[in-house]
Amino acid sequence: GQQVMQIPQYQHVQEGEDFTTYCNSSTTLSNIQWYKQRPGGHPVFLIQLVKSGEVKKQKRLTFQFGEAKKNSSLHITATQTTDVGTYFCAGMVVGAQKLVFGQGTRLTINP
């Protein structure tokens, strides 16, 4: 079945450093979504990417969708303590109707 792999599993940075998490799918995706889950919380939708090669920005967050629509990345510039949490990518296979989540990248920040 479809698999969505995310790396790294954990990332610890100093406040102010950049952070990147990568997502790879075994199959072509119709779209990819990113979610953030704070400790003890539930996943919260951040963004959806649909087009090949698409790049979207939300303040310090930059999301990319690969040309082949099989990979994606999330980059955070100059991390802040409010960025702490686990970031999940979730892909929807072409023709499917459900999201398949990656294992997540847990970000911790040293203030």
Partner 1 sequence: DTGVSQDPRHKITKRGQNVTFRCDPISEHNRLYWYRQTLGQGPEFLTYFQNEAQLEKSRLLSDRFSAERPKGSFSTLEIQRTEQGDSAMYLCASSLRTGFNFNYGYTFGSGTRLTVV
Contacting residue, 7, 13, 84, 99, with partner 1 by CB under 8 A: 99
33 is a contact residue toward partner 1 (CB under 8 A): yes
36: how many CB neighbours lie within 10 A of its CB? 19
Cβ proximity to partner 1: between 66 and 102 the closer is 102
Per-residue x/- marks for partner 1, 34-73, CB under 8 A?
-x-----xxxxxxxx-------------------------
Q: Which of these segments, 1-9, 11-19, 62-70, 72-80, binds partner 1 (CB under 8 A)?
A: 1-9
The per-residue DSSP string of 54-72 comes to -EEEETTEEEEE-TTSSEE
Pair 85, 38: CB distance under 8 Å: yes
- Residue entry with tokens 């459900």: 98
25: how many CB neighbours lie within 10 A of its CB? 23
| Site residues, partner 1 (CB under 8 A) | 1, 4, 6, 31, 33, 35, 41-48, 88, 90, 92, 97-104
